[in-house]
Amino acid sequence: MPLKDRLIICIASSWDIDPTSKHQVMRILSQTNDVLWVNYHGSRRPSLNRKDARSALGALKRVASGLRPIHERMSQLTPLVIPGARDLRVRKLNEHLVVSQIKRAVRTMRKPNQPVQLWTFAPDVDFLAGRFDEERLVYYCVDDFAAFEGFDAEAINAAEARLAGKADVVLATSKPLLEKCQRLHSNVHLVRHGVDHDHFASALDRRERPDALQSIPRPIAGFVGLIDHWFDVQLVSEVAKRMPDVSFVLIGDVRVDVGPLADLPNVHLLGRKPYAELPGYLASFDVGLIPFVRNQLTESVNPIKLREYLAAGLGVVSTDLPEVRRYDKFVLLTDESAAFADACRSAIASNNDDARRKRSNAMVGESWQSVTNRLCDIVMTLPAASHEKSATPHICLASQ
């Protein structure tokens, strides 16, 4: 069932980062709806470091710019909040500020009698429920937020339970998240991530190497993504030492100590590259890597990069993550450095044009458009919203 002619309030992290599931879904929904993207960062406690200082400065600039158009039917808002949210009075004041600023933006964007829906990717915004006369409240659970560094696990879990209790539907992007959300709501659907297939499949026909790779010899074992506390620096270091004849190219912002990698001659940290340029890099990779630490956070993750690698035709070597196991036809799984190196050599040996096209073709049916179509069916077949729900967890059966 199509979702159209609504005003969708989307509560998510910053719009101005590399595309995630939030960006992909809302970009598609904005073709037939108006979308207000709210840059919300209430979940994580900032630290006194350079990264958070840059993030805070960027947020202040976005706040000062007010309601900013992204395109004709989509705008973004960064609400002004007061630092010190641990204090109850400050937190309540911030909630009032966020609600009032969103309401002001809604008055600007909303057409006469236009239905409103509230979609949140943040787990701690139960205070928004029912404040916009919304016909639907959707909680889209994409991570186990309590497992992130810098998050107050107890507070996040409590807030998430309150939010789920007020939601009309909960969407979970992995089987472990589905099982977690089953304890919080009676209407939970497993909707795994998709892929921007046409974009990444363009790697199949690219022959010219990006300038940054011109001096880097092949074969290349490559990674694309944020290098943060879930990235296993030690594993990649050990694998790179075992494979001195292979170049390890890591593309993405670095937010952890990568000292064990920095001095290795066959490891190349290239930093973040524009999304538009990524297929050109993947075209020169011989294998894609997902070297994640095994912990509570990654046990629930559904790495978008997996489908992006496959759409680009790459074989993949990954640590043994639950959601990645489903693709064992194309992925080699191991957590041990010697076996990981052997798997990389095997994947590199099978890197030929026929194999790449088969992998890419297998991802055609997993497009973001297909995912969004399913989301629309789920949301638009719900009964009318009523935000007087209890925040008490439910025993439920979940849609697979």
Residue ranges per structural domain of the chain: 7-194+368-380, 197-364
Write phi, then psi, for 292 (nearest 5 degrees).
-95, 145
Single-letter amino acid code for the residue at 91:
R
**Six token digits for residue 173:** 């992007």
Q: What is the DSSP letter of 92?
A: H
Q: What is the pLDDT of residue 400?
A: 36
Q: What is the pLDDT of residue 48?
A: 52
Work out the pLDDT band at 382, boundaries 50, 70, 90: confident
Residue 137 in this model has a pLDDT that exceeds 60:
yes
Q: Which of 125, 152, 107, 121 is nearest to 21 (CA)?
A: 121
Residues 6 or more apart from 193 whose CB is under 8 A from it?
Answer: 21, 173, 302, 304, 307, 371
pLDDT digits 0-9 by tens, 282-316 = 999 999 999 999 999 999 999 999 999 999 999 99
Q: What is the pLDDT of residue 83?
A: 79
Domain 7-194+368-380, second-level architecture: 3-Layer(aba) Sandwich (3.40)
| Equal CATH topology for 7-194+368-380 and 197-364 | yes
Q: How far apart are CA 292 and CA 301, in angstroms?
A: 10
Mean pLDDT of the residues in the chain: 91
Residues 6 or more apart from 141 whose CB is under 8 A from it?
Answer: 123, 160, 170, 171, 172, 173, 177, 180, 181
**Six token digits for residue 104:** 């002001």
Options 3.40.50.720, 3.40.50.2000, 3.20.20.60, 3.20.20.70; CATH for 197-364 is 3.40.50.2000
Which residue has tokens 């409590």?
158
126 neighbors 40 (Cβ within 8 angstroms): no
Residue 49 in this model has a pLDDT that exceeds 60:
no
